Amino acid sequence: MKRHVKAGMVILAATLAGLAACGPKGPKAPGREVVTPLLQQEANALKADGEKLDPVLGVKATWAIAGIDVTERANDPDRPWAGTIRFRIRSETKDTDGAVVVDEFDRRFDYVYSTSLQRWIFQLPPSPAPEP
């Protein structure tokens, strides 16, 4: 009788191990057609926030989206996509004599898409190397 119980336990353990191996491996990576609009939403939010300036400062900023790029990252199932948002920013400031000073510059924001979080994550640029 004990032999049947041991055999049953072994079969049960093997079955559970097999089911665990066939179970879900985590969220599946979404396709480009899913993540690109999400990065576009992120760009729109950055644009809206960047253009909100205190009127007391006397600065008007216009953020134009220059480009959105999404590239596949091989061999990284949790971060299968990298994204870049590029802006062309124009700021206008009134000088003390009333003249308008215009400054234009480019800004870039890098992201990775996290499958486990199901959202884009902002990536800080690497710190510059210290001078010797």
Would residue 5 count as lying in a domain? no
Range of the domain at 88: 28-123
pLDDT in tens, 35-59: 999 999 999 999 999 999 888 888 9
Q: Count up the domains in the chain and report the number.
A: 1
pTM (predicted TM-score): 0.74
Q: How far apart are CA 118 and CA 32, in angstroms?
A: 13
Question: Strand, coil or helix: what is 38?
Answer: helix
pLDDT band at 108 (very low <50, low <70, confident <90, very high): very high
In a domain, 15, yes or no: no
